[in-house]
Amino acid sequence: MSFLHRTVLLEEAVDALAIKPDGLYVDGTFGRGGHSRLILSRLGPNGRLIAFDKDPAAIAEAQTINDPRFTIVHDGFRTLSDALDELGIQHINGLLLDLGVSSPQLDDGSRGFSFRFDAPLDMRMDTTRGQTAADWINSADEKDIAEVIRDYGEERFAKQVAAAIVARRLERPFATTRELATVVATAVRTREPGQDPATRTFQAVRIFINRELEELALILPQALARLSTGGRLSIIAFHSLEDRIVKRFVQDASKHDLPDRLPVRAADIPAPPLKAVGKPVRASDEEVAANPRARSAILRIAERTEGAL
């Protein structure tokens, strides 16, 4: 099936890379190729783009791009350094990440990401490997389930949801999204207006199953080590936990690593390896009206300096 996908902050995220025609860039989240295609359109004949994605559907879409400047890697962006080594690449001029789940993944009921459809409880971005959401829900300890729902979903009824899940699976294992959503609804007593009771739990399980926050924490230092001076990070987050990781990384890498009150002249203080570029960028009112999922998007931009790591 073909699903409509609107790339969020398309122009803004690619503009943030300050693309050099002969540069080498990485799109760590190919998705349906919106950002990648725009990057390619701005590269010259000697430019190059390496894209990553775990989703077989995204890989199939990437294989429709017949361009010698383009390479697709079927893996998560956590493998950046290893993949670049295999390709004989030492440095890159920019990295773009569009984090979280894509619209086609949400809108394809068979993937199990959304409680809007009754489908197998899968939630894997890479359907060729790894544990499904059903496998984990049916086997994890109640304490672990509660921690995941609390930490990744910021669900204040996490303990109650976990208890309800464990009680229900004693009767029969979970198999579908609707089964999980129905049980969660019995345990969540109040919810924000317009939000389904299962929203936070589904988000938490998806983040956990795909190790999304762990992957993000792994890619950032790799990217910094690979960026050439003047190279850019352009990262779109949709969730406060993702954005917090990006924000803290940029802040920490933008500070000099010297003890407080050390008597050193300002001119002698070594430059930090990274600097934030501008303020965080959010989708315009027009984009949000056309694509409500853009409402929570926040783009952060940073640039590699001459400072040593």
Interval 292-297 mean pLDDT:
89
Provide the annotated binding site for S-adenosyl-L-methionine.
33-35, 53, 77, 98, 105
Predicted TM-score of the model (pTM): 0.89
Measured CA distances, 155 to 59, 152, 190, 198, 208 (Å): 33, 8, 11, 10, 14
203: confidence class by pLDDT, cuts 50, 70, 90:
very high
| 145 burial via Cβ count (<10 Å: 0-12, 13-18, 19+) | buried
Mean pLDDT of all residues belonging to the chain: 91
β 70-74/92-98 pair status: unpaired
264: confidence class by pLDDT, cuts 50, 70, 90:
low
Provide the annotated binding site.
33-35, 53, 77, 98, 105
pLDDT(2) > 60:
no
For residue 272, which of 252, 249, 301 has the smallest C-alpha distance? 252
pLDDT per residue over 109-126, tens digit each? 667 677 777 899 999 989
Interval 19-44 mean pLDDT:
96
For each of the domains in the chain, give its residue range(s) and CATH number, in order of start.
10-103+212-304 (3.40.50.150), 127-209 (1.10.150.170)
Report pLDDT for 262. 59
C-beta atoms surrounding 279 within 10 Å: 9
